[in-house]
C-alpha cells in the first residue's frame, strides 16, 4: 500500500507543479510580420490612417523590422558586443522608417507619429519644417 501511495503522491505533485515550471518559459518570439501587423494596426488607430496608408505602413514596417533584425543577427554572429553599434543600427532603421512614413502621411499624422514615437520637440520641429519647406 505504501508503494502505491508514494507513486500516487508523486503523480499528484507532478500534476500540481508542472504548470508552475512551464510558466517560466518565455513566450515564442514574434516574427517581423507579426510585429509589423500589430504596429500598423496601432498606427491606424492612433493616427487615423486610411486602409491604403495602413497597408503602406505595414509593408514598410515588415521590410524595416526584418532588415534591422538581420543586421542585429549578423552583428551577433560576428561577435559584436558594443551597445553603441547596435544603437547606431537601430537609429539608421528608425530614420529609414520615418523617411518612408513622411512620404505618405499628412503633416498632422506625421507630427503625431513623431510625438508618439518619442522624438524630441527640437528634432520634431526640424523634421516638420523640412517637410513643410519641401511643399
| Model confidence pLDDT, tens digit, residues 71-122 | 989 988 888 778 888 889 888 999 999 999 999 999 999 999 999 888 888 8
| Model confidence pLDDT, tens digit, residues 40-81 | 999 999 999 999 999 999 999 999 999 999 998 998 888 877
In 60-95, which positions are buried (b, 16+ CB within 10 angstroms) versus exposed (e)? bbbbbbebbeebbeeeeeeeeeeeeebeebeeebee
Cβ-Cβ contacts under 8 Å for 121 (sequence gap 6 or more) = none
Amino acid at each position: 500500500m505504501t508503494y502505491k501511495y508514494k507513486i500516487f503522491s508523486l503523480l499528484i505533485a507532478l500534476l500540481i507543479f508542472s504548470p508552475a515550471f512551464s510558466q517560466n518559459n518565455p513566450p515564442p518570439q514574434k516574427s517581423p510580420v507579426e510585429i509589423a501587423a500589430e504596429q500598423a494596426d496601432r498606427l491606424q488607430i492612433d493616427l487615423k490612417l486610411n486602409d491604403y496608408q495602413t497597408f503602406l505602413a505595414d509593408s514598410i514596417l515588415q521590410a524595416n523590422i526584418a532588415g534591422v533584425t538581420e543586421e542585429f543577427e549578423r552583428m551577433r554572429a560576428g561577435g559584436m558586443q558594443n551597445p553603441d553599434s547596435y544603437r547606431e543600427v537601430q537609429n539608421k532603421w528608425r530614420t529609414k522608417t520615418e523617411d518612408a512614413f513622411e512620404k505618405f502621411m499628412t503633416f498632422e499624422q506625421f507630427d503625431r507619429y513623431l510625438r508618439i514615437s518619442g522624438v524630441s520637440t527640437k528634432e520634431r520641429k526640424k523634421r516638420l519644417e523640412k517637410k513643410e519647406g519641401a511643399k
